[in-house]
Amino acid sequence: MERDTSVRLFGDPAKTIGARAAGRTVLRARTVVAGAALKPLHDAVVVIDDGLVSAVEPAGPEHAVDVDLGDATLVPGLIDAHVHLASDSGPRFGGVPDESRLLLLAISNAQRFLRAGVTTVRDLGSPFAVGSGLRDGIDTGLVIGPRVLAANRVITITGGHGHHMGLECDDIGELRRAVRQLAKDGSDWVKVMASGGFVHARRSEGDAPFFPLFDLTEMRMIVEEAHRFGMRVAAHCQNRDAIAVAFEGGVDTIEHCTFAAKPQAVLDEALVRAIAERGTFVVPTTNNYWLTVGVPWAPKDVALANLRRLYDLGVRLVAGTDAGIPTTTPDLYAEGLRVFAEIGMPLTEVLAAATTLAAEAVGISDVTGSITPGLSADLVALDGDPLTDVDAYNRPRAVVVRGVLVPLGPGWQRAPGRGAGQ
Ligand SMILES: [Zn+2]
């Protein structure tokens, strides 16, 4: 007999504490991938108290199970370390310049992520302060959504990549002011465009992907000032020199890391080895492009070979889709994980790239990233076993964020406790 847990949704203050579910919920599943080691436990329960995991253990008669997930595999809530929530994935990356509409779009995208099993996103660029506004609305329980880490506006040069959602800076003084503005706006992260990029309507020099936009002195100042204000720094890098400036400047994560060049992308192995040795996280923004139409900076086989080389040399690769760019919608999150599987990354490491390692990369492994007592109850039940079948990520059966069960629509009605999905 299952208790009705569907009332534990947002909008009922008696059942939530801010964004967290109140009271106890016990979930049971055939397999629970438990702890920081991502070890499968068979026929196990996850006990949730006030939105936090309080126990993960073999199921026994003492457990009053609220939701039996049948033959599903319960894994940590997934993390997308690189998104743009205030963008509509339409052909004109950036959306409409109106704050209230952008916020609605961001809420919608955030909830689409949640339904795809993604319980944490790092928003690496939105106009205004949409990212931190949404984060606060979710954290206080105004709207349901994944945990959001926000960069808000990006730092770029005048007319440079992302300027439609950016603070345009052309000297040290402007850069310092921009970092302080981002702190004032409530940013968790500073996103700096260390190079131009590929997704944009216009092609000024500052927009082109083949040159760095800032020098080492400027990058060091950005990082130092951001760290002083308690923010971390993510650098968008589409070429070798930009990667070198970002890495030597001490950024916390390197985004894209593509080594784009004319006529062809060329990996700098010495630089990659240095990145691996220091343990700097790289978010290569694997997504639905990679295995279908291909990426804009290299033929498919070259892009995959370069990514494989980063992996082989020991770079810590993290899942992030760049959702918000044309055609990359939140629903396609799992396509990025498929790319990792395609280069031969073992499936336990694929799961780590989307959970434990991603949480570490974005700086919240003391909050989420694994099913561990004391951490937030952020979970996704997958139909199938993601440790043997990467397609399982496309089949979320139930999603829990901060202990709150997320309604998934008709699929949610069908699945719990009925061993559906055979
Ligand atoms: Zn991006």
List per-block mean pLDDT (blocks of 10 residues) for the chain, which spans 422 residues: 41 67 94 97 97 97 94 98 92 70 94 96 96 96 95 95 93 98 98 88 63 96 98 97 98 97 92 98 98 93 97 98 95 98 98 98 98 98 97 96 81 35 28
> Is 220 within a domain?
yes
pLDDT of residue 189: 98
> Is 125 within a domain?
yes
Please name every residue paired with 323 in a beta bridge, in sequence order, or none if there are none.
Answer: 83, 325
- Report the separation in Å between the CA atom of 83 and the middle of ligand 1, taken as the mean of its atom positions: 6
pLDDT of residue 202: 56
Q: Is the domain of 112 the same as that of 224? A: yes
Domain boundaries, position 103: 78-361
3-state SS assignment for residue 66: coil
Query: Residue 346 sits in a domain of what CATH number?
Result: 3.20.20.140
pLDDT of residue 263: 85
Please name every residue paired with 217 in a beta bridge, in sequence order, or none if there are none.
Answer: none
Give the list of residues 6+ apart from residue 405 with CB closer than 8 angstroms, or none. Answer: 5, 6, 8, 9, 21, 25, 67, 398, 399
- Report the separation in Å between the CA atom of 120 and the middle of ligand 1, taken as the mean of its atom positions: 16
Q: Is the domain of 63 the same as that of 202? A: no
- Report the separation in Å between the CA atom of 379 and the middle of ligand 1, taken as the mean of its atom positions: 25
Q: Is the domain of 69 the same as that of 161? A: no
- Report the separation in Å between the CA atom of 218 and the middle of ligand 1, taken as the mean of its atom positions: 21
- Report the separation in Å between the CA atom of 124 and the middle of ligand 1, taken as the mean of its atom positions: 6
- Report the separation in Å between the CA atom of 195 and the middle of ligand 1, taken as the mean of its atom positions: 12
- Report the separation in Å between the CA atom of 198 and the middle of ligand 1, taken as the mean of its atom positions: 10
Query: Residue 410 sits in a domain of what CATH number?
Result: 2.30.40.10
182: number of Cβ within 10 Å: 27
- Report the separation in Å between the CA atom of 339 and the middle of ligand 1, taken as the mean of its atom positions: 18
22: number of Cβ within 10 Å: 18
Q: Is the domain of 380 the same as that of 309? A: no
- Report the separation in Å between the CA atom of 182 and the middle of ligand 1, taken as the mean of its atom positions: 17
> Is 290 within a domain?
yes
pLDDT of residue 347: 98
Q: Is the domain of 156 the same as that of 234? A: yes
Instruction: Find the radius of gyration of the CA atoms of the chain.
Output: 21
> Is 122 within a domain?
yes
Q: Is the domain of 118 the same as that of 168? A: yes
Separation CA 289–CA 342 (nearest Å) = 13
Q: Is the domain of 105 the same as that of 49? A: no
**Whether residue 263 has a cis bond before it, omega within 30° of 0:** yes
Q: Is the domain of 267 the same as that of 396? A: no
Amino acid letter, residue 189:
W
> Is 331 within a domain?
yes
Q: How far is CA 111 from CA 23, 119, 134, 148, in A?
A: 23, 9, 11, 11
9: number of Cβ within 10 Å: 15
- Report the separation in Å between the CA atom of 322 and the middle of ligand 1, taken as the mean of its atom positions: 5
The residues whose Cβ lies within 5 A of ligand 1, an ion, are 322
Domain count, the chain: 2
Q: How would you label 312-325 residue by residue, b for 16+ Cβ within 10 Å and e otherwise? A: eeebbbbbbbbbbb
- Report the separation in Å between the CA atom of 169 and the middle of ligand 1, taken as the mean of its atom positions: 19
> Is 159 within a domain?
yes
